[in-house]
């Protein structure tokens, strides 16, 4: 264990100079959700249903202090995310500060608020990478999914500017029943946009996505096609486009190793400064997440906070996980999904075939995939707005 002291900026630091990240296994990359404000209203958003209001957000100085602290404890990379991070007027200042303290910066954006000039200023400030989310490859469908007219055309424009400014580009495509038929076109779009990487991310079902599951859940046939399309494209586009692929785990026999295991490889910071073991962690009620405003250092929160330690490792597991040969491989799946579907974050993730809930949930999902309505509940601060296709 390490002793704590107070740094020059008034926050507690761990007295392990130069080796905090290594000693405490602090992740090398951290997700910073600068704001929950967003012009889009995607029905699968991973933000909590209770969005944090603009007035609660960390100030520019608070975020700068966080960035300095992250660099000091050995973090190498930050992902500026949201909501929509470009909704923060101080984004350029934050990117510049991150660069000055030695952090590699990635912007995860819907792109619709960016001008070419602002993107160029971000590049000048040291922005190292841009990831743009797409809702499809056809404007009418993509704009309906995002709930934002004209969004798709703007994204294409910003993607081109990104490459003109010589910034590496990742295309992120969140896939579900209503856009999976577009996957071959989306792959082609990513090639045309000169992206280095395409993330084919099937929707994960908690938070807003769980509310919209009946409208989003793919059929088994769609998932088979999707896997075959990705495999063929990976082969064909070797050296041109790297493709990351996340299968929806409702259709797998074993769950994903979510977040690399709770409190093992990942944390993120919410708009108001809460340090979270997972971007959807606040969907689990009854956990208390410390804030960077509370006085403890980020390294202390990572090491000591109850919310991190509750599901860290394997000691908290119940059966069937507790005596399962895979428990160190998948760490019992996803805590947020276990809470959402089993009502207990310490339960086996029902995506696992060994969960007593698996068959029932899988059958419900299968039924929703074939007969669910396409109606979305759009994400917003009012708790969601339902609209027909
Ligand atoms: Fe993983 Fe638990 Fe399922 Fe075993 S029972 S495969 S540890 S989720
Ligand atoms: Fe939170 Fe899986 S999404 S642990």
What is the per-residue pLDDT for 140?
93
Asked if 342 and 350 touch (Cβ cutoff 8 Å), the reply is yes
- Rounded to whole angstroms, how far apart are CA atoms 161 and 167? 9
Q: Can you give the pTM of this predicted structure?
A: 0.90
Please give the distance, rounded to the nearest whole angstrom, from the Cα atom of residue 310 to the centre of ligand 1.
Answer: 18
Going by alpha carbons, the residue nearest to atom 1 of ligand 2 is 336
Inter-CA distances, 63 with 31, 89, 90, 98, 124, Å: 13, 13, 10, 10, 20
Whether residue 382 has pLDDT greater than 90: no
Q: Express each pLDDT in 298-342 by its tens digit.
A: 999 999 999 999 999 999 999 999 999 999 999 999 999 999 899
Q: Residue 54: exposed, middle, or buried by beta-carbon count in 10 A (0-12, 13-18, 19+)? A: middle
- Rounded to whole angstroms, how far apart are CA atoms 167 and 130? 7
Asked if 325 and 342 touch (Cβ cutoff 8 Å), the reply is no
**Most confidently modeled range among 106-110, 207-211, 368-372:** 106-110
Measured from the Cα of 258, ligand 2's closest atom is: 2
Strand partners, 244: 199
User: 333: Cβ below 6 Å to ligand 1?
Assistant: yes
22 band by pLDDT with thresholds 50, 70 and 90: low
User: 357: Cβ below 6 Å to ligand 1?
Assistant: no
User: Please, which contacts does 233-240 make with residues 24 or more away whose CB atoms are closer than 8 Å?
Assistant: 233/184, 233/187, 237/187, 237/191, 240/191
| Mean pLDDT value across residues 231-253 | 91
Whether residue 192 has pLDDT greater than 90: yes
Segment among 126-135, 252-261, 323-332 with least mean pLDDT: 252-261
Nearest ligand to the C-alpha atom of residue 332? 1
| Mean pLDDT value across residues 32-40 | 91
Give the contacts of 31 (CB within 8 A, at least 6 positions apart).
78, 79, 81, 266, 267, 268, 269, 279
Whether residue 170 has pLDDT greater than 60: yes
Measured from the Cα of 337, ligand 2's closest atom is: 2
Whether residue 59 has pLDDT greater than 60: yes
Strand partners, 355: none
What is the per-residue pLDDT for 21?
55
Average pLDDT along the chain: 90
High-pLDDT (> 90) share of the chain, %: 71
User: 348: Cβ below 6 Å to ligand 1?
Assistant: yes
- Rounded to whole angstroms, how far apart are CA atoms 160 and 195? 10
User: 20: Cβ below 6 Å to ligand 2?
Assistant: no
Going by alpha carbons, the residue nearest to atom 2 of ligand 2 is 334
Give the residue carrying structure tokens 């600068």: 34
User: 330: Cβ below 6 Å to ligand 1?
Assistant: yes
What is the per-residue pLDDT for 298?
96
What is the per-residue pLDDT for 15?
44
What is the per-residue pLDDT for 13?
44
Going by alpha carbons, the residue nearest to atom 6 of ligand 1 is 326
Tell me whether residue 45 is annotated as binding. yes
Q: Hey, what are 275's tokens?
A: 């340090």
User: 334: Cβ below 6 Å to ligand 2?
Assistant: yes
Nearest ligand to the C-alpha atom of residue 351? 1
User: 338: Cβ below 6 Å to ligand 1?
Assistant: no
| Mean pLDDT value across residues 213-235 | 94
273 band by pLDDT with thresholds 50, 70 and 90: very high
Nearest to 31 by CA among 122, 136, 156, 131: 131
What is the per-residue pLDDT for 40?
85
What is the per-residue pLDDT for 249?
77
Whether residue 75 has pLDDT greater than 70: yes
- Rounded to whole angstroms, how far apart are CA atoms 91 and 11? 23
Nearest ligand to the C-alpha atom of residue 335? 2
Strands 376-378 and 385-387 turn out to be antiparallel
Whether residue 106 has pLDDT greater than 70: yes
Whether residue 242 has pLDDT greater than 90: yes
Going by alpha carbons, the residue nearest to atom 8 of ligand 1 is 332
For the chain, the C-alpha Rg in angstroms (whole number) is: 21
Please give the distance, rounded to the nearest whole angstrom, from the Cα atom of residue 309 to the centre of ligand 1.
Answer: 19
Nearest ligand to the C-alpha atom of residue 264? 2
Q: Express each pLDDT in 336-373 by its tens digit.
A: 999 989 999 999 999 999 999 999 888 888 888 888 78
Give the residue carrying structure tokens 């984004």: 91
Tell me whether residue 42 is annotated as binding. yes
What is the per-residue pLDDT for 152?
97
Tell me whether residue 38 is annotated as binding. yes
């Amino acid at each position: 264990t390490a002793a704590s002291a107070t740094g020059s900026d008034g926050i507690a630091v761990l007295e392990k100079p130069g080796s905090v990240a290594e000693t405490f296994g602090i992740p090398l990359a951290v997700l910073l959700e600068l704001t929950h404000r967003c012009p889009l209203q995607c029905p699968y958003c991973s933000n909590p249903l209770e969005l944090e209001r603009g007035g609660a957000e960390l100030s520019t100085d608070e975020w700068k202090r966080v960035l300095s602290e992250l660099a000091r404890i050995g973090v190498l990379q930050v992902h500026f995310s949201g909501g929509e991070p470009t909704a923060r007027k101080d984004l350029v200042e934050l990117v510049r500060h991150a660069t000055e303290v030695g952090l590699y910066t990635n912007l995860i954006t819907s792109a619709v608020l960016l001008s070419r000039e602002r993107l160029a200023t971000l590049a000048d400030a040291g922005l190292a990478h841009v990831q743009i989310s797409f809702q499809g490859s056809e404007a009418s469908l993509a704009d309906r999914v995002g709930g934002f007219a004209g969004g798709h055309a703007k994204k294409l424009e910003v993607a081109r500017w990104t490459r003109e400014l010589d910034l590496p580009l990742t295309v992120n495509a969140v896939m579900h029943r209503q856009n999976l038929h577009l996957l071959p076109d989306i792959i082609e779009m990513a090639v045309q946009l000169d992206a280095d990487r395409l993330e084919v991310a099937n929707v994960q079902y908690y938070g807003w996505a769980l509310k919209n599951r009946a409208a989003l859940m793919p059929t088994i046939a769609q998932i088979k096609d999707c896997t075959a399309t990705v495999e063929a494209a990976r082969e064909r586009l070797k050296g041109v486009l790297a493709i990351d692929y996340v299968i929806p785990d409702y259709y797998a026999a074993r769950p994903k190793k979510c977040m690399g295991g709770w409190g093992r490889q990942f944390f993120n910071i919410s708009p108001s400064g809460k340090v979270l073991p997972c971007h959807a962690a606040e969907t689990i009620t009854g956990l208390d997440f410390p804030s960077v405003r509370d006085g403890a250092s980020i390294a202390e929160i990572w090491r000591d906070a109850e919310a991190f330690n509750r599901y860290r490792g394997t000691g908290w597991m119940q059966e069937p996980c507790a005596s399962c040969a895979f428990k160190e491989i998948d760490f019992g799946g996803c805590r947020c999904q276990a809470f959402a579907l089993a009502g207990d974050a310490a339960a086996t993730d029902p995506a696992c075939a060994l969960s007593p809930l698996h068959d029932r949930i899988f059958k419900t999902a299968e039924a929703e995939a074939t007969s669910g309505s396409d109606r979305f509940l759009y994400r917003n601060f009012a708790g969601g707005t339902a609209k027909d296709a």
